[in-house]
Amino acid sequence: MSPIMEFIRDSRSVGIVLICATFVSLVVSNTGWSASYMHFWERELNTPLPELHLPHTILHLINDALMAVFFLLVGMEIKRELMVGELNSIKKSLLPIIAAIGGMVVPATIYSLWCGGTPFSSGWGIPMATDIAFSLGVLSLLGKRAPVSLRIFLTALAIIDDLGGILTIAIFYAGDLQWSYLLYAGIIMIALIAMNLLKVKRYYPYFILGLLLWYFVFNSGVHATIAGVLLAFTIPLHKIEELEHALHDPVNFIILPLFALANTAIVLPAEFGSIYTSVVHHGITMGLVLGKPLGIYLFSMAAVHLKIASLPTGMKRPQLLGMGLIAGIGFTMSIFMATLAFSDAETQLVAKVAIIGASVLAGVLGFVFLRLVSIKPSAAKAD
């Protein structure tokens, strides 16, 4: 096996590539090439049929179209685990839902304690989000120290968290929903479910309807990536493993690095003094770094104690807390919410700097904590 293929097959490679892409993007964004670099991602695409209302910049193409493929992959992983894997019992599948609720309610509450009654109170949704791509990338750096159940749990939690974020945007932050497009999307979903029930085995009917589903969701005002999750849940279970294998490398080593490069093209301010003293900075930082792990851990332990749910096989309580820290990586969805919550550029910049700083801190703390409390499988057997 070539060195390149060995690196790709390494479980830590996705995290390494994402971190490198983020570092490069932040550096280039704050050098003399900044203007050209930023312009590249915002460049208008010449679409042959503009009346179709497709993504009109490279950034939108990545975030709205390519990332739907990433959500398709993680959606299939969730379906497989719900059907035959670590989440195949009611008690185990309930836990990520309850944990995600805690991971949204507590950060939003902490932010409101800092910023409630101020002109910045509308930003309460910012620390609710978990960035799936970056959080899984950091978790992958632990290699075999992180059990498969931990990755599946974080994936499920982050998906539910993102769906909660999408609902928050749709209800509290987004403009008018396009109900006609939502109706068309609903009709396509009914057709996809019918195909599943009729046991249609070929891929292409699912993909053709999946493209239509994506188009209608994209134009409905709901975040387009949810179409990937919806499509994943209609694909027959026996086809999922083959499709996962086909999508793994393109998603992890092309789509996610592009996503990281495009979404970290942020010009940092020359002076940070006023940012670090802002209540917006405090609310977001405390919400992501403190609120996320507290909410996830406390809600999960309450559910386990009340026998509503149970921890996945192989997961220990300290690992749950460490995973909660990693879930504090808000990044993309948080930045998106910040642009919706605040109309002025100055407050948006404060929020973005806080999100980046809090996400880095949460990722480092979560990685270090999990590395300390987790034992390599080989070491555990030796004992």
**Distance, CA of 274 to CA of 281 (rounded, Å):** 10
What is residue 315's DSSP assignment?
-
Q: How confident is the model at residue 125 (pLDDT cuts 50, 70, 90)?
A: very high
Cβ distance 160 to 299 under 8 Å?
no
Beta bridge partners of 44: 57
Q: How confident is the model at residue 1 (pLDDT cuts 50, 70, 90)?
A: low
Quote the pLDDT of residue 175: 63
Closest of 175, 180, 184, 187 to residue 221, by C-alpha? 175
Cβ distance 131 to 337 under 8 Å?
no
Kindly give the interhelix angle for 292-305 and 317-326, rounded to the nearest 10 degrees: 150
Strands of the chain (E only): list them.
Answer: none
Does residue 223 register a pLDDT over 70? Answer: yes
Does residue 383 register a pLDDT over 50? Answer: no
Residue 233 corresponds to which amino acid? F
Closest of 323, 214, 242 to residue 73, by C-alpha? 242
Determine the length of the chain: 383
Residue 374, classed as helix, strand or coil, is coil
Quote the pLDDT of residue 121: 94
Phi, psi values for residue 269, rounded to 5°: -75, 155
pTM given for the model:
0.82
What is residue 61's DSSP assignment?
I
Does residue 236 register a pLDDT over 90? Answer: yes
CB atoms within 10 A of CB 203: 15
What's the helix, strand, coil split of the chain in %, to 5?
75, 0, 25
**Which of the residue ranges 74-88, 198-212, 325-339, 355-369 would you say has the lowest mean pLDDT?**
74-88
Residue 33 to residues 26, 28, 36, 45, 361, Cα–Cα distance (Å): 11, 6, 6, 21, 27
Does residue 382 register a pLDDT over 90? Answer: no
242-273 pLDDT tens trace = 899 899 889 989 998 998 899 888 888 777 77
Q: How confident is the model at residue 103 (pLDDT cuts 50, 70, 90)?
A: very high
Does residue 352 register a pLDDT over 80? Answer: yes
Task: Give the CATH number of domain 13-38+57-174+222-376.
Answer: 1.20.1530.10
In sequence order, what are the residues at sequence separation of 6 or more whose Cβ sits closer than 8 angstroms to the Cβ of residue 216?
181, 182, 184, 185, 188
Does residue 235 register a pLDDT over 70? Answer: yes
294-321 pLDDT tens trace = 999 999 999 999 999 888 878 889 999 9
Q: Which two tokens stand for residue 267?
A: 């010009």
- Mean pLDDT of the chain, nearest integer: 88
Domain boundaries, the chain: 13-38+57-174+222-376
